[in-house]
Every structure is written in structure tokens, then in C-alpha cells.
Amino acid sequence: MISAGNIAVSLCPVFVFLGALIWLDSYKLIRLRNVILTIVGGSVAALAAFLCNSILLDKVAMGFMTFARYVSPVVEESFKLLYLIVLFRTRRIGFMVDAAIYGFAIGAGFAFIENIYYLRSLDDPNLLLWVIRGLGTAMMHGGTTAIFGIVTKYFIDRDAISPALMYFPGFIFAVVIHSLYNHFLLPPIISALGIMIFLPMILMAIFKKSEQLTRAWLGVGLDADMELLERITAGQFSDSNIGKYLQTLTSRFPPEVIVDMLCLLRLQTELSMRAKGVLMMREAGFREEPGEEIREKFSELKFLEKSIGATGKIAIAPILHTTSQDLWQLYVAKE
């Protein structure tokens, strides 16, 4: 009978590394409860993948090793990525750091369930086996999902490919890495050590680059928001390029709708500035809870969007904060 110590040894590295990623995030962009929910999501993905693999293995005419190398990676990565795609679609991921943490948390949850399954089915007390599962397989699950998140965020930020295909490159990366790992091209202990060495190096490099971009974005973005808000407040807005653009819409929309468009722009700018302020406070070690004033602003935001209507929102889309990172700001502002 395998002891609980073996399963602890096999899972310890992946959860320690996940904790290190959260600790290294200077801006503390993700709340602990969201990390826990993501781990649970990864656990559910593992159960669904196990059920699907069991059904497919009975249906397809191939050996277990062939299935593990070419079919199982596609199935398992597909289920792991679903939760991360939901986070992208709901604008919960603003930077590559977010994508890496969420992705690794999903992989940790997946590995947790998978290792419990092996704990019950493998009658092998060899501690080395469970060290390899922790250093290798569990880290692989976290790493492939983190890489999917990072690659997908890269394409989303650059709007380089169509929305229908933006998840495809990261998915291919994840499946190929998973498949290569299951080919056992190297001895298991060497593969495990390789993942333990190179995965942290890759993720640390991404963390460093992401924090540099975040600081640059905070400085430039905050200055631009302040300048725009000052123009609106001082009545100098009509001389700006955005003001001139709004003037071109006066022949297409009633005056009251144009006013609502200006109010929507002002409100989004205020919330954008708040989001940047929240990040600066988090970097300094403070966390401010949203008050009633912020909730009222979001209620006003919804009212203005409804008042302007779908056609009006399309018309002012070029001047609103509508990129994935800008929309993410609104999520941060109301957290």
C-alpha cells in the first residue's frame, strides 16, 4: 500500500512552484480565492479527461502506449484549457503573468487528481517513482497549460490572428510538449530534472518581461488618462482628436446620445485611472476594497451603454477602452 507521504512528495514541487509564482507577482493581480477556484477547475478537468480517455481507449483500435502518446495529450490538454479560455473570454487575464499563474494552477489541480488515481491503482512503494511524478508529470501538466496561456495572451495583445484561431497556436504547443514527454525519449529522471530546470527559467523570464511591460504601461497609460480627463473637465475636449471624432458623429446621432457617449468616455477613463492606481497600491503592499462609489460608477456605466445602444457603441469603439488589456482594467477596478 502506498503511503500518503508518496503522494505528498509527488505533489509538493508543483504546489510550491505555484506558490512561488504568486509570491513573485509584484502586483498581486490574482486573488487567492481565484487561484483556489482555478485549482478546483483543473481537478474537474482531470475527472472529465479520465472519463473521456476511458471511453476512447475502449473504442479505438490502438495500444495503450500509442494512445498515451497521440490521443491522450489532445484529450487532456483540451479539458485543461477550457477553464483558461473562459478566463480569457471574460477578460480576467490582463498580463502574461496572469496567464502563467492561472495556467499553472489548472495544471496543479489536474495533477492532484491524476496522482490520487495512481496512488489508488499502482502498488509500488518506490519513492523515486513518486518523486518523478512530482518533478516530471505534475510539473509538465502545470507547464503546458501555463505555456498555452502565455502564447494565447501574446496573440491576443497583438491582434495577430483572427479570434477564431487565437487559441490554436498555444494548444498546439501544449499538445506537442505533452506528447513528447509521453514518448519517454529520455530516462524518466532526466526528463523530470529537465522540466524542473528549464520550466522555471522560462517562466521567470516571462515574469521579468511582463513586469517591465506593466510598469511601462502604468506610466504611459496613466499620463494619457489624466490628460484626457483634464481636457474633458476643462472644456478643451473639442480641440482634441477624440473630440473631433465625436463631432463627426453629430449628424448620425441625437445630441443626447452624443452627450452620453462623452459621459461614457469620461467614466471609462476614470475607471481606467483607478485600475492603474490599484496596481500601484498592490505593488506597495496595500489592497483597497471597492466602495459604494465604484459600484455606482459601474451601474452608471451599464446605463450609459444601454442608452447609447449597440450602434452607438460600434460608432465610438475606436475611442473607447476596448482592447483586452483595457477591458481587464475595468475588472480590476471593481474587484
Count up the domains in the chain and report the number.
2
Residue 13 resides in a domain: yes
pLDDT of res. 327: 58
Domain assignment of residue 193, yes or no: yes
On whether residue 224 sits in a domain, the answer given is: no
- The C-alpha cell at 3 is 503511503
- Same domain flag for 190 and 84: yes
Same domain, 154 and 256: no
- Whether 220 maps to a domain, the answer reads no
Q: Are residues 152 and 109 in the same domain?
A: yes
Domain range for residue 302?
235-334
In the three-class reduction of DSSP (H, G, I as helix; E, B as strand; rest coil), residue 252 is classed as: coil
- The answer to whether position 252 is within a domain reads yes
In this structure, the answer to whether residues 43 and 181 fall within a common structural domain is yes
Q: Is residue 227 part of a domain?
A: no
Confidence at residue 123, expressed as pLDDT on a 0 to 100 scale: 60
CA distance 289 to 333: 9
* pLDDT number for residue 293: 72
20 within domain boundaries: yes
What pLDDT score was predicted for residue 55? 93
273 closest CA partner among 315, 226, 233: 226
One domain, residues 170 and 72: yes
Mean pLDDT by 10 residues, the chain (335 residues): 61 78 70 89 95 92 90 96 91 83 92 80 63 74 91 82 84 94 81 77 76 60 59 63 70 81 79 72 66 75 83 73 61 62
Which of 115, 112, 107 minimizes the C-alpha distance to 140?
107
3-state secondary structure of 334: helix
Is 123 inside a domain boundary?
A: yes
Last residue of a domain, one of 176, 195, 210: 210
96 and 145 assigned to the same domain? yes
